[in-house]
Amino acid sequence: MGQHFKLRLRNSSQVVCVSSTREQFKRKGDMNNLAVKQNATVIVAMDGTIFAVDTEQALSKLDWYQAATFDQDFDVSGKSILPGFVDGHTHPVWSGDRVHEFEQKLAGATYLDIHKQGGGIGFTVAKTREASHEELEALLMTRLDRMLRQGTTLVEAKSGYGLETETELKMLRVLKSAQDKHAIDISATFLGAHSVPKGSTPAEATVDVVDKQIPAVVAARENGDIYVDNIDVFMEKGIFDSDQSEAILSKGKACGMCINFHGDELTFMGSGELGAKIGARAISHLEEVSKVGIAAMASNDVFGVLLPTTAYVLRITPPPAREMIDSGVLVALGSDFNPNAHCLSMPFVMNLAAVTMKMTLSEALVAATLNSAASLNKSDMHGSIEVGKWGNLVVVDNAQWTHVVYELVDAPIAAVFVKGEAVPMTRIAHL
């Protein structure tokens, strides 16, 4: 009797593996090498991991393949297959939208103008503090559903709309609850230092995060109430300066969290230099990063998680992606989903990365898969189509994978699979 498998996707015009050598990440020119297999088949084992990926011609000669049976078996001729997308930076737990601020920004108000008026993060903090766990979880689950239908199978997700212990823990509990229930894998980030609470100073807020919030997060983690992978801070003029950011990030690192923080978004703050100094895994935004900071990040394997949606929405200069890639920085992408940048689609992020930041389509795909996974220390199981990794797959309804970036707004995604299971509400009937 032959082996039995969970899934076979056969005869794909292109299987875009991204990597075929189990490399953790790609940089510089290697980002344009996608390890594409033509007329290929992907097989997912019953445990949800990829068992085989090869041409149908090669597989058909193997005895085990001839005798194999499958729970799900689809002929995907004329379609292409990509790894599940990885969104490297999101703020998905919140209540209260900010569509009114979108209109203000269109009329000329800047991000900091709105922030000083008590809007922006402050508005969302008030609404999120008021919201129950159940309300926040329901909102999050809906957002994760929408991400999944757009091909995202791993997402970094932050707290940060509490700015005090109780609400920050509530947000982290919501993330754990969602991880226990939802198909998407979530890398949870503690962001108690997202802003300075009303009535406080940056110095006072720093002390609160370091001496009160982080110990409470660690205690909750040890009790099994939450899990936390990363520590973040919004390092920005008038919010947390370099010394305050270093104190917060270093305390989180000492407590077992990876450093993954906001830097150089609106003002040059020396985030690249600081990240290299304190052993950061990743820095997001980087619109105002310096040449020295770029060199420091490249030399120390600090990921730059670039968020083209932010520059698009705020009408600011995008990060210097081309210079960063050419200088050897490990570049990843994220949607920056939040009430200010309401984007749940990594295909759209890749399009913006290509158009506004001059990345090639291949670079954009690597940055939205393998490199984003690596920025979260997850590329051992995510980010490429390789034997032993999770069977997280996006089926593109075109023989050329590039259509998933080229076709604006409504990406031609025929199906999404998570660990070999078809995601509900995809266009599975079209396979």
pLDDT, tens only, 360-388? 999 999 999 999 999 999 999 999 999 99
The conformation of residue 35, written as its DSSP 8-state character, comes to -
Tell me if 320 sits within 8 A of 351, measured CB to CB. Answer: no
CA distance 23 to 33: 12
pLDDT tens for each residue of 145-154: 999 999 999 9
* Residue 89 pLDDT > 90: yes
- Interval 93-100 mean pLDDT: 90
Tell me if 357 sits within 8 A of 333, measured CB to CB. Answer: no
Is the model more confident about 184 or about 428?
A: 184
Binned at pLDDT 50, 70 and 90, residue 182 comes out as very high
Tell me if 353 sits within 8 A of 366, measured CB to CB. Answer: no
| Cα 213 to Cα 124, 150, 170, 219, distances in angstroms | 19, 34, 12, 10
Tell me if 122 sits within 8 A of 115, measured CB to CB. Answer: yes
Answer yes or no: pTM beyond 0.75: yes
Structure tokens belonging to residue 380: 């051992």
* Residue 173 pLDDT > 60: yes
Which residues, at least 6 apart from 329, have a Cβ–Cβ distance to it below 8 Å? Answer: 27, 294, 297, 298, 302, 303, 304
* Residue 308 pLDDT > 70: yes
pLDDT more than 70, % of the chain: 98
* Lowest-pLDDT range of 10-24, 53-67, 114-128: 114-128
The conformation of residue 209, written as its DSSP 8-state character, comes to I
pLDDT in the model for residue 209? 98
pLDDT in the model for residue 427? 46
